[in-house]
C-alpha cells in the first residue's frame, strides 16, 4: 500500500478537528465541486472532476509557484460509483510514480469493493480513552471519573461540543443515551423482580460466572465466558435472566436491537456494528444482549450485509480479550447457522414444563412484589397444591400476569368503595382475606390462558424440545417431582427434618 494514498473514516463532527492536523491542503467534495485551499488567501480550483488534482500543470499557481501537494477528497466512498472506482485505480497508478503528492480520501462510512482493499489503506479516528481522554477533559476542568466514564464511546468532536455545555456528568450521559438509542443500544433497566425463581442450576452457573469477573481470576488465566445463549419459548424468563445476570455479576447490561444496526448501505451497517463492539470493549465488565437472535440474523444464510455482519460478530466473539459477554436469547435453535454453536460456552434451555418447586418460588416472588404483606404460609398446603396443579403449564411471565391481574381487580373494586385507603387495603388483602384471595387467584386463570393451550404453540414447543439435550438444564428439580408430600410438608423440609 502507498503511504501517500489512503482513506480516513471520520464522522462529520470530527471533520474540522481532523483537517487541522494537516498544515496545508486542498479540499474537494460533491457539495462544492471545487478544490478549496486551507489558505483562504488562495483562490479555489473549480472542477467537477476530483482527479484534476493529479495533473501537474494544475499544481502551479499564477505566480509559477507549486501549490500544496496534499489533496483531500471527501464524500465519494459511500457508495462508490463505478466511475470513481476507476478514478481511484488511475490515482493509485499515478501516485505510485509520484511520491511527492498526497491524496487522502475522507468519508464517514467507507464502502470499498474487495479488489480495491489491496490498493487503499483505511484508517480510522480512534475514540479517546485513558490518558488521551483525561487530557482532553482537563481542558474544561471536568476530568473526574464520572465525566471520564460518561465520555467513553464519544468522539473527540462530540466531547468538545458536549462537555463545555454540560453542567453535570448526567448531562453527558443523557446525550450519550440518546446517541446509543439511535445506534440500536439501550442501557437495560433494573429487573422488575429481585431474583431468579425456580432456576437453581442457572443461578449456580451465574454465580460461577460472577466469580470469573474478579481480577484474581485473570491472574491464573481464567476469564468470563465470551458467549452465553438463553434458549426457549417466549415468556420463560430469558430476558429477565439477562437483567439478573448483569445484577449478579456486577456487569453493565447493554441491550442491542440488531435491526437498528442496519443502515442505508453495507458500509454504514458494518460501521454501526463496529461502533457497538468497540464501545463495549471500552466499558469494562459488560454483557451485550441481543434478543431473539435467530430472527435478527435469519438473512445471513442468504448472503448480503447480514452475512458480513454475522461474520464480523463471530470474529469479534472469538478474538476479543476484554471482559465482555455476548448474551443472546433465541426461540428456535435450528434457525442458527452451525458455526454459531461452538462460540457459546454456555447454552441453557428454558422450558415451561416447570417443577412444582419452581412454580411455588415464582408465585411467591410475584406475590411479594405485588403485596408487601405477603407470607408464604397464607395459603394452606391443600390450597398451594391446587394452585400449582391448575397453573402447571404456565410460563413465569404468564404467572406474573396472573398475579398482576389479581392485584388490578382488587384495586379497582376497593378504590370504588374507599379511595383514600385503597393502597393499604390492597397491600394487606392476602393477609386479611386469605380465602378470598385464594379464590381470586384461581378465578383469574379463566382470563389468562397458558400459551401451551394453543395447539400451534404446543406443536412449536414440541419441536423446540427435540434439541433440549444439547443445552444445560436451568433447574435440577424434575417437573414430575411433587413439591408437597402426603404429610403436607414440602419435600425439602421432609428430607432434612
Pair (276, 362) in one structural domain = no
Residue 109 CB neighbours (<10 A): 19
Pair (117, 138) in one structural domain = no
Pair (329, 217) in one structural domain = yes
Pair (208, 246) in one structural domain = yes
Q: 436 with 425: CB under 8 angstroms?
A: no
Could you tell me if residue 313 is inside a domain? yes
Could you tell me if residue 461 is inside a domain? yes
Q: How many residues does the chain have?
A: 497
Could you tell me if residue 315 is inside a domain? yes
Query: Rounded to the nearest 5 degrees, what angle is found at the Cα of 186, between the Cα atoms of 180 and 187?
Result: 115
Could you tell me if residue 83 is inside a domain? yes
Half-sphere exposure (CA, 13 Å, Cβ side) for 429?
Answer: 24
Pair (160, 215) in one structural domain = no
Specify whether the backbone of 184 is left (phi greater than 0), alpha (psi in -120 to 50) or beta: left
Could you tell me if residue 492 is inside a domain? no
**Residue 232 bridge partners (DSSP):** 350
Chosen domain end from 350, 385, 413: 350
- Nearest-CA neighbor of 431 among 410, 447, 409? 410
Pair (162, 146) in one structural domain = yes
Say what the alpha-carbon torsion angle 75, 76, 80, 86 is, to the nearest 10 degrees.
Answer: -170
Domain with 49 in it: what CATH number? 3.40.50
Pair (335, 443) in one structural domain = no
Structural domain total, the chain: 4
Cell digits of residue 31 = 457539495
The reported pLDDT for the residue numbered 496 is: 32
Could you tell me if residue 113 is inside a domain? yes
Pair (216, 291) in one structural domain = yes
Helix H or strand E encompassing 385: helix 381-390
Output the tens digit of pLDDT for each of the chain's 497 residues: 899 999 999 999 999 999 999 989 999 999 999 999 998 888 888 999 999 888 755 555 566 555 558 999 999 999 999 999 999 999 999 999 888 789 999 999 998 999 999 999 999 988 999 999 999 999 999 999 999 989 999 999 999 999 999 999 999 999 998 998 888 898 887 766 666 666 788 889 999 999 998 889 988 999 999 999 998 877 777 888 888 888 888 888 999 999 899 888 889 999 999 999 999 999 889 999 999 898 877 765 566 888 889 889 999 999 999 999 999 998 877 777 777 778 899 999 887 677 788 889 889 989 999 999 999 889 999 999 999 999 988 888 889 999 999 999 999 999 888 878 899 999 999 999 999 999 999 999 999 988 766 666 666 666 666 667 677 877 765 555 555 654 455 544 433 33
Q: 163 with 172: CB under 8 angstroms?
A: yes
Q: 303 with 267: CB under 8 angstroms?
A: no
Residue 443 CB neighbours (<10 A): 12
Pair (117, 66) in one structural domain = yes
Could you tell me if residue 307 is inside a domain? yes
Pair (274, 388) in one structural domain = no
The reported pLDDT for the residue numbered 492 is: 43
Q: Which domain holds residue 413?
A: 356-466
Cell digits of residue 473 = 438444564
How far, in whole angstroms, is CA 27 from its chain's centroid?
38
Could you tell me if residue 489 is inside a domain? no
* Segments in 183-227 forming alpha helices (H): 200-212, 215-219
How far, in whole angstroms, is CA 46 from its chain's centroid?
46
DSSP label of 211: H
For the chain, the straight-line distance linking the first and the last C-alpha, in angstroms and rounded, comes to 77
The full DSSP string for 97-166 is T-TT-EEEEEESS----GGGTTT-EEEEPPPP-HHHHHHHHHTTT--SHHHHHHHTT--HHHHHHHGGG-
Domain with 337 in it: what CATH number? 3.40.50.300
Chosen domain end from 321, 350, 379: 350
Pair (330, 393) in one structural domain = no
Q: 94 with 109: CB under 8 angstroms?
A: no
Pair (178, 236) in one structural domain = no
Amino acid at each position: 500500500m502507498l503511504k501517500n494514498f489512503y482513506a480516513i473514516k471520520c464522522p462529520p463532527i470530527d471533520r474540522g478537528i481532523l483537517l487541522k492536523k494537516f498544515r496545508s491542503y486542498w479540499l474537494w467534495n460533491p457539495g462544492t465541486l471545487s478544490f478549496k485551499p486551507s489558505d483562504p488567501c488562495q483562490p479555489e480550483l473549480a472542477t467537477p472532476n476530483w482527479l484534476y488534482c493529479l495533473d501537474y500543470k494544475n499544481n502551479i499557481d499564477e505566480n509559477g509557484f507549486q501549490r500544496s501537494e496534499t489533496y483531500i477528497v471527501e464524500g465519494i466512498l459511500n457508495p462508490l460509483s463505478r466511475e470513481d472506482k476507476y478514478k481511484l485505480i488511475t490515482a493509485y497508478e499515478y501516485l505510485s510514480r509520484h511520491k511527492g503528492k498526497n491524496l487522502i480520501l475522507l468519508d464517514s462510512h467507507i464502502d470499498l469493493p474487495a479488489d480495491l482493499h489491496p490498493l487503499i489503506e483505511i484508517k480510522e479516528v480512534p475514540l479517546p480513552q485513558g490518558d488521551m481522554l483525561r487530557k482532553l477533559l482537563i481542558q474544561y476542568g471536568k476530568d473526574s471519573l464520572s465525566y471520564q466514564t460518561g465520555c467513553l464511546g464519544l468522539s473527540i468532536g462530540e466531547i468538545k461540543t458536549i462537555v463545555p455545555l454540560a453542567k453535570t456528568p448526567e448531562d453527558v450521559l443523557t446525550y450519550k443515551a440518546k446517541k446509543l438509542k439511535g445506534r440500536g443500544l439501550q442501557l437495560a433497566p433494573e429487573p422488575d423482580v429481585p431474583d431468579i425463581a425456580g432456576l437453581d442450576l442457572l443461578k449456580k452457573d451465574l454465580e460461577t460466572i460472577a466469580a470469573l469477573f474478579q481480577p484474581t481470576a485473570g491472574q491464573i488465566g481464567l476469564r468470563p465466558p465470551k458467549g452465553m445463549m438463553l434458549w426457549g419459548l417466549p415468556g420463560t424468563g430469558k430476558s429477565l435472566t439477562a437483567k439478573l445476570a448483569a445484577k449478579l455479576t456486577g456487569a453493565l447490561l447493554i441491550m442491542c436491537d440488531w435491526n437498528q444496526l442496519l443502515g442505508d448501505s453495507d458500509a454504514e451497517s458494518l460501521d454501526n456494528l463496529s461502533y457497538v463492539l468497540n464501545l463495549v470493549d471500552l466499558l469494562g465488565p459488560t454483557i451485550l444482549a441481543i434478543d431473539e437472535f435467530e430472527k435478527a440474523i435469519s438473512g445471513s444464510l442468504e448472503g448480503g450485509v447480514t452475512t458480513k455482519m454475522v461474520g464480523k460478530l463471530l470474529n469479534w466473539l472469538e478474538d476479543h480479550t476484554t471482559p465482555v459477554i455476548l448474551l443472546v436469547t433465541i426461540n428456535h435453535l435450528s434457525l442458527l447457522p452451525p458455526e454459531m454453536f461452538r462460540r457459546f460456552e454456555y447454552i441453557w434451555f428454558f422450558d415451561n414444563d416447570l417443577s412444582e418447586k419452581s412454580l411455588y418460588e415464582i408465585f411467591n416472588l410475584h406475590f411479594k412484589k405485588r403485596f408487601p404483606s405477603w407470607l408464604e404460609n397464607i395459603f394452606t398446603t391443600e390450597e398451594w397444591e391446587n394452585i400449582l396443579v391448575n397453573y402447571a403449564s404456565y410460563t413465569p411471565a404468564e404467572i406474573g400476569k396472573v398475579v398482576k391481574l389479581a392485584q388490578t381487580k382488587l384495586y379497582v373494586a376497593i378504590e370504588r368503595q374507599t379511595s383514600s385507603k385503597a393502597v393499604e387495603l390492597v397491600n394487606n388483602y392476602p393477609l386479611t382475606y386469605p380465602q378470598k384471595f385464594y379464590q381470586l387467584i384461581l378465578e383469574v386463570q379463566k382470563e389468562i390462558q397458558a400459551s401451551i393451550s394453543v395447539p400451534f404453540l404446543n406443536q412449536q414447543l414440541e419441536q423446540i424440545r427435540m434439541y433440549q439435550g444439547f443445552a444445560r438444564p436451568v433447574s435440577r428439580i424434575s417437573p414430575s417431582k411433587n413439591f408437597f408430600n402426603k404429610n403436607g410438608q414440602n419435600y425439602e423440609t421432609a428430607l432434612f427434618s
